[in-house]
A and B are shown apart, each in its own frame.
Chain A
Amino acid sequence: MTSVTNAPVPARVVLSQADIDRALTRIAHEILEANKGSRDLVLLGIPRRGYPLAVRLAEKIAAADTTVDAAAIVGQLDVTMFRDDLSHQGTRPPYPTRLPRTGIDNKVVVLIDDVLYSGRTIRAALDALVDLGRPRIVRLAVLIDRGHRELPIRADHVGKNLPTSSAEKVRVRLAETDTSDAGAPVNEVVIEGGA
């Protein structure tokens, strides 16, 4: 690891609200294109910030394809209990898992997360999916791919590829889950720390 400077490195905004919105619009169309339409589509967001992204994507898909009911295709998939680092990290309480009423059997499930890093969250998500049903296809969409994979996992749809050092922290802040220091809603992706 490289030496860390003593002076705090200011957080650098890499994606603004408009950038996030454009990236999500593109991903929404990519999902429709890869699926050749909206048939059997289910979007599952991984808590915490994957879920609001999934809701936004579902709305964009519904805007592009009027036959789609955004609320009916989106769900939340908690992977806490399936993580491989449960016995090494502090205890984390699980989030709810909510599936669309149609279930996931024989569906095209798109997993959605904010940042793809080691790939271990996605491995846990794949395990969690097996216990819930048998999708026909599982795809992965992420807002940020920052590299440093530890498992043979890749994303099908990426908002932005972001080369990072592992000393840096990538933070996604969304209006649904975060507020700025002043308490105002924020929508941005920032890089903190590192050299």
Chain B
Amino acid sequence: MKHLLSTGDLSLSNAIRILDTAEEMSAVGEREVKKLPALRGRTVVNLFFEDSTRTRISFEAAAKRLSADVINFAAKGSSVSKGESLKDTAQTLSAMGADAVVIRHWASGAPHRLAATDWIDAAIINAGDGTHEHPTQALLDAFTMRRHWARLAGTDSQGTDLKGMRVAIAGDVLHSRVARSNVWLLRTLGAEVTLVAPPTLLPVGVDKWPCSVSYDLDQTLANGVDSVMMLRVQGERMNASFFPSTREYSRRWGFDNNRLRALDDLGMTDTIIMHPGPMNRGLEISAAAADSPRSTVLAQVRNGVSVRMAALYLLLSGDTREPAATRAPANAAAPSTKESN
């Protein structure tokens, strides 16, 4: 692997390798000395063209735990606000000797652009591009689910996948890069994904994705589900009315107290509730659901550091002098065909 741009081109073996490595990284967080010397002398640039708290801090913590030097770059207050292009910014970073660039950009495809051009010779990690992909979020979600799934099976999570797990991803799928990355990755790992959203918040062409689609959250819950992932309603990306009112949205597609009770009534004691954050409490998830023992919101944040450490380690620790031609044997397990289940 040279870059981490998308979960669509991540093979099963590479995905499991990242998750297994993250498992070892998480042990470091419990030590007295929470630091490894693996990336000493490497420079990681956090290039954030869009606001973010947890992803940026998570990447910063991950890089620092691996002893890398971290440069934080926020578009606000930089030359970008004077009109500097992505190319010039990248070339500036390249001249400063960045070994890895963690990029979040409002334009879908910006990380691919950096990776495909010769503007900068560094490992590119996509930390969210527009409404396209957010691979490390999907990896940390998968990591959280895998631990849960392995615990239910009574096994060690090392080396396992998510075969047979039923995952519902509900909410604003249209604007969600988290949903896209999760669909590809969870499919690769063998989980069955159902997207639940109002028809207005589903993207065109969703019928070609390797997942099933539902408009009814209650029905999806009643059919049985092992993990419910609620997506944030992305008000800042909404330039039209996608649903009549927040109350109606919350009643039909939000995870409210009634649905929390319904999980107990249906006897699904082991179903977890996930949310990538930041949460709109009372809109897509009720406070009681977010704070219930089923909620993995904080575990997801904690696991985010481990997963990002694993990604940085696997991308940066290899031979620095190797030619860029050795791309990972990807695409093999990339789900491209439609499967209706």
| Residue ranges of A at the interface with B (Cβ–Cβ < 8 Å) | 78, 80-82, 86-91, 93-97, 127, 130-133
B307 CB to nearest chain A CB (Å) = 14
Residue of B nearest to A132 (CB): B31
A96 CB to nearest chain B CB (Å) = 6
Contact B318 A81, beta carbon cutoff 8 Å: no
* B contact residues, range: 20 to 34
Residues from chain A with a CB closer than 8 A to the CB of B158 are: 96
Residues from chain A with a CB closer than 8 A to the CB of B24 are: 78, 93-97
Contact A81 B37, beta carbon cutoff 8 Å: yes
Residues from chain B with a CB closer than 8 A to the CB of A78 are: 24
A148–B318 alpha-carbon span in the complex (Å): 26
- Known A87-B317, A91-B317: A82·B27 in contact at CB below 8 Å: no
Task: Give how many A-B residue pairs fall within 8 Å (CB-CB).
Answer: 53
Say yes or no for B32: interface residue by CB 8 A criterion: yes
Residues from chain B with a CB closer than 8 A to the CB of A95 are: 24
Say yes or no for B236: interface residue by CB 8 A criterion: no
A95–B158 alpha-carbon span in the complex (Å): 10
- Known A81-B36, A132-B33: A97·B27 in contact at CB below 8 Å: yes
Contact B38 A86, beta carbon cutoff 8 Å: yes
A128–B261 alpha-carbon span in the complex (Å): 48
Residue of B nearest to A82 (CB): B37
Contact B319 A88, beta carbon cutoff 8 Å: yes
Contact of A91 among B36, B66, B318 (CB under 8 A): B318
Say yes or no for B21: interface residue by CB 8 A criterion: yes
Secondary structure class of chain A's binding surface, majority of residues: loop
Say yes or no for B259: interface residue by CB 8 A criterion: no
Contact B319 A87, beta carbon cutoff 8 Å: yes
Residue of A nearest to B25 (CB): A94
Within 8 A of A (CB), among B298-325: 313-314, 317-321
- Known A81-B36, A81-B37: A90·B27 in contact at CB below 8 Å: no
**Known pairs A93-B17, A97-B27 / 10 extra A-B pairs, C-beta < 8 Å:** A81-B38, A81-B66, A81-B313, A82-B38, A87-B320, A88-B319, A89-B318, A89-B319, A91-B314, A94-B24
Residues from chain B with a CB closer than 8 A to the CB of A132 are: 31-33
Contact A131 B314, beta carbon cutoff 8 Å: no
Q: Which 9 A-B pairs have the closest CB atoms?
A: A91-B318, A131-B33, A81-B38, A81-B36, A94-B24, A86-B317, A93-B21, A87-B320, A91-B317
Interface centre among A96, A130, A132 (most CB of B within 10 A): A96
Contact B27 A96, beta carbon cutoff 8 Å: yes
Residue pairs across A and B with Cβ atoms less than 8 A apart, 15 shown, are A81-B36, A81-B313, A82-B36, A82-B38, A87-B317, A87-B318, A88-B321, A91-B317, A95-B24, A96-B158, A97-B27, A127-B37, A130-B33, A131-B31, A133-B32
